[in-house]
Amino acid sequence: MDAKLEFRMAEENDLDRIVEMLADDLLGSQRELYVRPLPQSYLDAFKSIASDPNNELIVACEGNEVIGVQQITFTPYITHQGGWRATIEGVRTSARVRGKGIGTEMIRWAINRAEERGCHLVQLTTDKKRPNALRFYEKLGFTATHEGLKLKL
């Protein structure tokens, strides 16, 4: 990486690049719809995230280029004595920079952000079809302590 990596809140004009990155892998290409113009559902979701103080859509930039994205959701829980948790979702880096440590910097940034927000726990899921992602998160200190379940509606 030539330029210093910078993080900021995503802006509406980043949305095209964000969806492009989300769609740029085997699983993402099956669930995202990267066409121009983007479907209205992406803009609606962006606006909901941007207006919610407990949701942050963060982009990683190398100069003016968006090369990574992640969403962090901060949730209060009654469990753990009413503590807050951060959930990291939708982590993607540009194909051009994969394997260059960008993902590591992004997750470390998200962990620091969770600490700033007073969270006691950072959680995430990764698809079982992504064994490399599981190893990546384990190297960063995450442990598979729970079995996650989802019900697609």
Edge-first strand listing for the sheet containing 84-93: 5-9, 55-62, 65-76, 84-93, 121-124
| β-strands 84-93, 121-124 pairing | parallel
| DSSP β-ladder status, 5-9 and 65-76 | unpaired
CATH number of the domain encompassing residue 18: 3.40.630.30
Quote the domain boundaries for residue 63: 5-139
Q: Answer whether residue 145 is part of any domain.
A: no
Residue 150 lies in a domain: no
* Number of domains, the chain: 1
Residue 86 lies in a domain: yes
> Does 47 reside within a domain?
yes
The backbone region for 39, taken as left when phi is positive above 0, alpha when psi lies in -120 to 50, beta otherwise, is: beta
Whether 149 is covered by a domain: the verdict is no
pTM: 0.93
In sequence order, which residues have a C-beta less than 8 Å from that of residue 12 and are 6 or more positions away? 43, 46, 47, 50
Report the interhelical angle of 131-139 vs 102-116 (nearest 10°): 60
Tell me, what DSSP letter sits at residue 84? E
**Residue 2: pLDDT above 70?**
no
Inside any domain, residue 147: no
Contact of 73 with 83, CB cutoff 8 Å = no
The phi, psi pair for 71, rounded to 5°, reads -110, 135
40-69 per-position pLDDT tens digit = 999 999 999 999 999 999 999 999 999 999
- Evaluate whether residue 59 is within a structural domain: yes
Mean pLDDT computed over every residue of the chain:
95
Asked, for residue 146, whether it belongs to a domain, the answer is no
- Is residue 25 pLDDT above 90, yes or no? no
